[in-house]
Amino acid sequence: MLGFIENEIGDDITTPVTAFDDKTVVFLLIHVADVYKHWLANFGMKMSLSYADGINVTSIEDVYSLYAEADELTNAFITRYENDVYIPITNNTSTGKIITPTVLELFTHVTTHEFHHKGQIMSMCRLLGHIPPDTDIIRT
């Protein structure tokens, strides 16, 4: 998907899409990367990492950097909890509510969230006049 955006979308990554409340492709890409940081790093590993500043993220190169960081955090999370995915993790949400999801629930949440927004991003690309490729991971 990122290769398609890099090679086909160009400057349209910052073009507001009316049907998506004037959000942009880059806005959703940043949001997805920040959700990995929020749930896996800050909530799951009790880190205090800051989130991406959308004003400074305007190119696909910037997005690749955010996703490299998200990959590193995901690998650290998996390594830390690889022996028991059912360990409960208690922490405060951003609204101050205390919740206790398991490692597996956190991981499932962020990956499901990413695929939800991947579909939205592909729809945004289509609305911007770019025909997206088939982004299914497995084909038989």
Residues 28 and 117: beta-carbon distance below 8 Å: yes
Query: Residue 11 domain-assigned?
Result: yes
Predicted pLDDT at 139: 66
Query: Residue 85 domain-assigned?
Result: yes
Residues 85 and 107: beta-carbon distance below 8 Å: yes
Q: Round the average pLDDT of the chain to a whole number and report it.
A: 93
Query: Residue 136 domain-assigned?
Result: no
Residue whose pair of structure tokens reads 């770019």 in the numeric block: 130
How many domains in the chain?
A: 1
- Give the residue among 104, 108, 99 at the shortest CA–CA distance from 83: 104
For the packed helices 60-81 and 103-127, what is the interaxial angle rounded to 10 degrees? 160
Taking only the tens place, the pLDDT of each residue in 116-139 is 999 999 999 999 999 998 887 676
Alpha carbon distance 28, 63 (integer Å)? 10
| Confidence label for 140 from pLDDT (cuts 50, 70 and 90) | low
Query: Residue 57 domain-assigned?
Result: yes
Running DSSP on this structure, what letter comes out for residue 23?
A: B
Predicted pLDDT at 114: 96
| Confidence label for 55 from pLDDT (cuts 50, 70 and 90) | confident
- The CATH number for 75's domain is 1.20.120.450
The DSSP string of 32-100 is: HHHHHIIIIIIIIS---PPPP-TTT--SHHHHHHHHHHHHHHHHHHHHHHTT-TT-B--EE-TTS-EE-
Domain that holds residue 118: 2-127
Query: Residue 139 domain-assigned?
Result: no
